[in-house]
Amino acid sequence: MYLLELAGTDDAFAAYEAASAASRVTVRGGGVATARGITDRVSQLALTHRVSELLGTTAPDLDSARALLEAVSIDRAGSVAVRARDVRGATGVSTQAVERALGSILVDRGFTVDLDDPDHELRAVFAGTPSTTEWAGDGIEIAPDAGDDGICALGWLAVEPERDFTDRAPTDRPFFQPGSMDPALARALVNVAGGRAGVRILDPMCGTGGLLLEAGRVGSSVVGVDALEKMVHGTRENVVAARADAFDVCRGDARRLPFAADSFDAVVVDAPYGRQTKISAGSLAVLLEDALAEARRVAPRAVVVGDRPWAAVAREAGWTVSAQFQRRVHRSLDRYVHVLDRS
């Protein structure tokens, strides 16, 4: 079993992304999940901070954490650092006291303490009750056995997914437009779509190319299409600056794509935002329905994000809506994520 420390506050969506690289993901507390198994793709997750080999779970207090560590068998030796975390400050536990107490137990078992470059890192993660009780989709459970007071989970750190998204902000690219998606969300959408080496992904409304760049970084072969020549040129600038390979970008109409049926494994698209276009709500719905029908022709899965729910439009285009999430961006903007599969 594995312990997943989730990023942000949207546990359902973070767990759903984690399920693209792990099996039997269960949200156990606010910001904490467990998984039955993992793949090497966990290193590419955007909404998981850390993955640890789970030792066990208990009540979220120091005495319970101490008792758990004293009870488990440990098959490793060398130097160690204990890192405790109270996720979102939900339990009020003293993380310093936890680190001292658990560190003392490990020293008694023959470990030496090395806070700078340890052989092993023990994670002690305390969390409150889950922030969501809604079903998150196939393969995801929401804390079926969580206690009323939350949870403490102990584990040996195994993987720290890359956290350099802030180093490649959209505003740092050669070509930028207001409203460009942040790289962390773009990566999460690509992962949900199944992006990885050997997978072919299309963005039929590629804009500045943010989704394409993240799909390429996880090893996918990607193609971008946009109706505006300005966007096509801008995306190419961004691709060149990122020194990305396996990219193709062309001008075209998302409603009449120049590709054969089933040319792609997945489509990922950031739908036009009504307030950023001169298109009326009704016309935008018609445009998107036609584009999603065309996406269904060329790929069996699509992940669509927009500033409003598009589930009804997706169904009209022939898709099955496998999951849907609402994510708060700021006070005046929510993003709605739709995971679509071909019936």
pLDDT tens, residue by residue, 191-203 = 999 999 999 999 9
For residue 278, the model assigns a pLDDT of 54
Span 307-332, mean pLDDT? 90
Q: Token pair for residue 282?
A: 């009704």
Reported pTM: 0.92
Any idea what DSSP says for residue 167?
G
Angle, CA of 207, 208 and 209, to the nearest 5°: 95
Q: What is the pLDDT of residues 172-226, one digit of tens each?
A: 899 988 878 899 999 999 999 999 999 999 999 999 999 999 999 999 999 999 9
Percent of the chain with pLDDT over 90: 78
Nearest residue to 201 (alpha-carbon basis) of 216, 188, 186, 187: 216
How big is the CA angle at 29 (ends 23 and 31), to the nearest 5 degrees?
80
Mean pLDDT across the chain, nearest whole number?
91
* 296 pLDDT more than 80: yes
Q: What percent of the chain is predicted at pLDDT more than 70?
A: 92
pLDDT tens for 227-277 read 999 999 999 999 999 888 889 999 999 999 999 999 999 999 999 886 555
Please report the domains of the chain, with CATH numbers, ordered by start residue: 2-159 (3.30.2130.30), 165-342 (3.40.50.150)
pLDDT at 156: 98
The residue that leads in pLDDT, 78 or 141, is: 78
DSSP 23: E
Which pLDDT tens digit goes with each residue over 310-320?
999 999 999 99
Distance CA 215, CA 218 (A): 6
Which residue from 34, 241, 47 is spatially nearest to 125, judged by alpha carbons?
A: 34
The answer, yes or no, to whether residue 146 has pLDDT greater than 60, is no
Which residues make beta-bridge pairs with 126?
86, 152
Query: Would you place residue 19 in the very low, low, confident or very high pLDDT band (cuts 50, 70, 90)?
Result: very high
Residue 175 has which token pair? 């070509």
